[in-house]
Amino acid sequence: MKTAVVYYSMLGNTAFVADKLRTEFGAELVELTPVKAYPDKGFRKFLWGGKSAVMAEKPKLQPYRFDAEKYDRVIIGFPVWAGRIAPPLRTFVEENRAALKDKRISAFACQSGSGAEKALNGLRELAGISDFEATAILIDPKDKPSEENVRRIAEFCAKLSE
């Protein structure tokens, strides 16, 4: 099954998981990069990122290559910001909603605190799908390696292999 992993990663946690999925499934990675980078340190990181997520902003993205016709499955990965998907994913989904309709969609969320369930529900509604093929919620998998994260990634991959 031809798979794309579409993701945004500010601090590398989501990219870490995306790379594991690339290895596991031979997936192609589609990294989303906003034209204007978000602050990635201190108070400004939480203020601007949180405001952007809460206000459902859709930042302009650097050009990316995503030909939906090539893929049977699309896995979407994102950091959780203020209980929501990171804004670059909102841009991607809105730009590709029609093309995603006939795909098997899965998603994984990386968070430091909480809110991933809410973010996944928001993503599902935004994409206009009834449910995901599989989901995973991870706690800072690159920055805070744990057996729990390893188990959750393995379960996610197993579900996708069924």
The confidence score (pLDDT) of residue 54 equals: 64
pLDDT tens digits, one per residue of 44-78: 556 566 657 767 779 999 999 999 999 999 999 99
Query: Is the pTM higher than 0.85?
Result: yes
Euclidean distance between CA atoms 56 and 21, whole angstroms: 28
State the Rg of the chain over Cα: 14
Domain of 145, CATH number, reads: 3.40.50.360
Domain count, the chain: 1
Q: Could you tell me if 81 and 51 are in contact, meaning their C-beta atoms sit under 8 angstroms apart?
A: no
Q: Which residues of the chain have pLDDT under 70?
A: 39, 42-51, 54
Q: Whole domain around residue 157: which residue ranges? A: 3-161
Selection from 1, 29, 24, 26 nearest residue 157 by Cα: 24
